[in-house]
Amino acid sequence: MVNKSTEIIARYQAIRAHSEKICVSLELEDYVVQPIADVSPPKWHLGHTTWFFETFILKAYQPNYKDFDSRYNYVFNSYYENLGARILRTDRGNLSRPSVSQIYLYRRYVDEQMMILLQQNNENQDFFNLVELGLQHEQQHQELLATDIKFILGHNPLFPYYTDEHVNDSRSDDSQEFIFLNEGIYEIGHQGRGFCFDNELGRHKVYLQQFEIATQLVTNAEYLEFVDSGAYTDFRHWHAEGWDWVKRNLISAPLYWHQVDAQWHSYTSSGLNKIIGTDPVCHISYYEASAYASWKGMRLPTEAEWEVAIEKLSWGLRWEWTGSAYLPYPGFKRATGAIGEYNGKFMVNQMVLRGASVATPPGHSRASYRNFFHPHQQWQFSGIRLAR
């Protein structure tokens, strides 16, 4: 078990460091703001992921553990009703304190305590499971950090740069192909011994009708045809609620798209740039994804179709909206206690996204992963794959 401990210590250090690396080019002010309720301040993410280790691990396994600051439970609890009162989600951006430097000190303090604990507790599987959950949780927040930073900078009238590293995520192959799968019984859900969330269990049979699924994601150039067709002013391909959303919010293109001198640009990590036609379209709501598919005479794949076809698909650049609502798998069981609030209580009014995106941290994607957001949300790195 020494190996296990060594391995997890290395993993712990690498993952914790990665969160901070994401923030390295921020101005201190960028850590603080919350332009919309969905977007949390980066400093809150850094504090909350630390609070997760403190609350679920240090307080449980470290005898005589002394809080860094007992008031942080109120500040950094996200949604755990089991763990008491907490600030309103919409107030996260109103808190100037704790300061960023205090939060970095908090991270140092908790990391040190965790190091001690990790070196001691090398035979307790429950403990290792919780550490693993904490790391997976931190990785989820790494993606949110990237997503929220983009929103914060991309909604600033000065359109600041985030990085000069350009991520090339264009579709290498220009041809859109569909692969065919026969009707029949398939299996979905997590398998193997690796980590997964409770919502991916248990593996079970599903019956699928025959279908075809695209091997590539829809590109900006393809989506632009939809925009240019007047789709945002034509109710026909939209859900009723999607159409209300378009009109109420004056939506006329994906998030971050701006017309400059009659040409479409989008905000990227290196500022406002012309749209690259071969890139997969990004920052699309479910309403838009579904309307686009309908306009093409097709549909979105279900999550089961996606999972059974995944080996033959090119994926990982965008979270892919599926046509499946986020619901429990057969036999789904929540964990007991606060951890049981992790997934189950969100299983209503959301749609499943599958895959991963350019913002997903390395090693945090797998075929059975179930991401989920509300149909109107655009701020994720979300795109479209077609089925029929």
Residues 154-183 that bind a copy of itself (CB under 8 A): 155-158, 160, 183
Measured CA angle at 146 (ends 255, 339), to 5 deg: 110
Closer of 102 and 176 to a copy of itself (Cβ)? 102
Total residues interacting with a copy of itself, rule: CB under 8 A? 67
Residues 276-315 that bind a copy of itself (CB under 8 A): 286-287, 290, 299
Report the largest interatomic distance among the alpha carbons of the chain, rounded to a whole angstrom. 65
Query: CB-wise, 337 or 363, nearer to a copy of itself?
Result: 337
Query: Residues near 81 by Cβ (< 8 Å), separated by ≥ 6?
Result: 341
The residues with which 204 forms a beta bridge, in sequence order, are: 188
Answer for which of 174, 349, 362, 363 binds a copy of itself (CB under 8 A) is 349
Do residues 111 and 104 make contact, with C-beta atoms less than 8 angstroms apart? no
Based on the shown chain and the rule CB under 8 A, indicate whether residue 27 belongs to the binding site for a copy of itself.
yes
Please pick, from the candidates 152, 213, 214, 218, the single residue that binds a copy of itself as defined by CB under 8 A.
152
Which phi and psi (to 5°) does residue 196 adopt? -150, 165
- Residues 6+ positions from 376 with CB-CB distance below 8 Å: 242, 245, 285, 286, 287
Q: In one letter, which amino acid is 159?
A: F
| Among residues 104, 195, 243, 264, the one that binds a copy of itself under rule CB under 8 A | 243
Closest separation in Å from C-beta 124 to a copy of itself: 27
Rounded to a whole number of angstroms, the minimum distance from the CB of residue 40 to a copy of itself is 13
Of the candidate residues 29, 164, 165, 261, the single one contacting a copy of itself (CB under 8 A): 29
In the complex, least distance from residue 361 CB atom to a copy of itself, rounded to whole angstroms: 23
Using DSSP's 3-state secondary structure scheme, residue 140 falls into: helix
Please report, for residues 46, 54, 64, 70, the alpha-carbon distance to residue 99 in angstroms, rounded to integers and kept in the order given: 11, 19, 26, 16
Q: Strands 382-383 and 319-325: what pairing?
A: parallel
Minimum CB distance to a copy of itself smaller for 64 or for 210: 210
Cα dihedral 329, 335, 340, 342, rounded to 10, equals -60
Scanning 10-18, 135-143, 338-346, 357-365 for contacts with a copy of itself by CB under 8 A, the matching segment is 338-346
Q: Which is nearer to a copy of itself, 173 or 241 (CB)?
A: 241
The length of the chain is: 388
Between 32 and 218, CB nearer to a copy of itself:
32
Site for a copy of itself in 63-122 (CB under 8 A): 71, 74-75, 79, 81-82, 87, 91, 93-100
Cα pseudo-dihedral 184, 188, 192, 194, rounded to 10: 160
Output the CA angle 238-244-246, nearest 5 degrees. 75
**37 is an interface residue for a copy of itself by CB under 8 A:** no
Say how many C-beta atoms besides its own lie within 10 A of residue 96's C-beta. Answer: 9
Side-chain half-sphere exposure of 327, counting CA atoms within 13 A: 8
Q: Does 242 bind a copy of itself (CB under 8 A)?
A: yes
CB of 30 to a copy of itself, least distance (A): 4
Binding site for a copy of itself (CB under 8 A): 27-35, 43, 71, 74-75, 79, 81-82, 87, 91, 93-100, 152-153, 155-158, 160, 183, 185, 204-207, 209, 235-236, 238-243, 286-287, 290, 299, 323-325, 327-328, 330-331, 341, 345-349, 351, 375
